[in-house]
Amino acid sequence: MDDNIIKLEYVTFSYESDDEKKTLPPAVKDVYLTVKEGDFVAVLGHNGSGKSTLAKLCNAIAVPQKGKVFVNGMDTSDENNDIDIKKTVGMVFQNPDNQLVATIVEDDVAFGLENLGMKPELIRERVDEALKMVGMYELRERQPHTLSGGQKQRVAIAGIVAMQTKCIVFDEPTAMLDPRGRQEVMNTVKYLNKELGITVIYITHFMDEAVQADRVVVMDDGVIILDGTPKEVFKNAKKLKDVGLDVPQLTQLAHELKKEGIDMPDDILDVDEFVNVIKELI
């Protein structure tokens, strides 16, 4: 066994067509991807590029027709591994309203643990701990519908944190949130990764979120076209543009200035770096 928590070995997955005579083109094609424990990987790609399918392959919601997926060494095509895989990899989805089931915040966070048949005292402990981790402990007795989008999403995250999964796959968790909610969720995700060591796979179409990951994987039409640190990936402005993606705003600005003959590096990602370069120039 290796130290990869997730490993996709040349994985191809096609959805079944409603019309039996037709076969759908694969949503994920021959993808090889490994994620190590503790990694924070962002996955970028325009609509329909296969990101959500990749997410589903990571915790056996989808099983490949070709190739294999391993979660902590467990083959996802073996049904006997299903429970252990779901205990290892949790998922957070786009719409918080679809993920919250109970009428009180703390009951919602307890839901998954109750399903596992855990003792009430232990559930209490885990729920309180998880709510503190996401900064929602003070609001534990509130009704979810009275919360903001960002707060609801943090409750959904607490539900997964309470399960103590080693890895969490976030599928565009901020797509429906306002800027403040997006920031709250992003800060929570970073905290889970940096402070608790939870492996994070973070699907997004926001460049400013992707730059905060340690590694960025870019998908197009079911394949991985770029994989590297944010700096390595966002240097490829042309390639990203060709598949309908942007680079972060400051990277773009630096590229435009370079075109005008100003000596700018092509891998600037944030304000601090930008300011430092300008200071050197004047």
Residues 6+ apart with CB under 8 A from 18: none
Neighbour-count burial for 96-119, b at 16+ CB within 10 Å, e otherwise: beebbebeebbbbbbbbbeeeebe
Q: Which does 275 bind (CB under 5 to 8 A by kind): ligand ADP, Mg ion, none?
A: none
In the complex, residue closest to Mg ion by CB: 52
Residue in 254, 234, 134 with CA at minimum distance from that of residue 185: 134
Dihedral, 175, 233, 169, 166 alpha carbons, nearest 10: -140
Dihedral, 53, 58, 60, 62 alpha carbons, nearest 10: 10
Q: Which does 53 bind (CB under 5 to 8 A by kind): Mg ion, ligand ADP, none?
A: ligand ADP
Shortest CB 14 distance to ligand ADP, Å: 8
Shortest CB 59 distance to Mg ion, Å: 15
Shortest CB 131 distance to ligand ADP, Å: 29
The smaller minimum CB distance to ligand ADP, of residues 223 and 253, is found at 223
The smaller minimum CB distance to ligand ADP, of residues 27 and 211, is found at 27
The Cα 86–Cα 165 span in angstroms is 8
Shortest CB 273 distance to ligand ADP, Å: 29
Sole binder of Mg ion in the list 49, 52, 165, 193 (CB under 5 A): 52
Task: Return the range that interacts with Mg ion (CB under 5 A); candidates 44-52, 101-109, 153-161, 181-189.
Answer: 44-52
Q: Which does 80 bind (CB under 5 to 8 A by kind): Mg ion, ligand ADP, none?
A: none
Shortest CB 38 distance to Mg ion, Å: 25
Residues 6+ apart with CB under 8 A from 87: 163, 165
The smaller minimum CB distance to ligand ADP, of residues 24 and 122, is found at 24
53 lies in the binding site for Mg ion (CB under 5 A): no
Residue in 171, 172, 174, 140 with CA at minimum distance from that of residue 158: 140
Please give the backbone phi and psi of residue 70, each rounded to the nearest 5 degrees, phi first. Answer: -120, 135
Shortest CB 282 distance to Mg ion, Å: 44
Please write down the HEC assignment for all residues of 11-53.
EEECCCCCCCCCCCCCCEEEEEEEEECCCEEEEECCCCCCHHH
Q: Please, are residues 226 and 233 in contact by the beta-carbon 8 Å criterion?
A: yes
Interface residue list for ligand ADP (CB under 6 A): 15, 24, 27, 45, 47-53
The smaller minimum CB distance to ligand ADP, of residues 24 and 101, is found at 24
Annotate each residue in 94-113 with x if it binds Mg ion (CB under 5 A) or - if it does not, as one string. Answer: --------------------
| Sites of contact with Mg ion (CB under 5 A) | 51-52
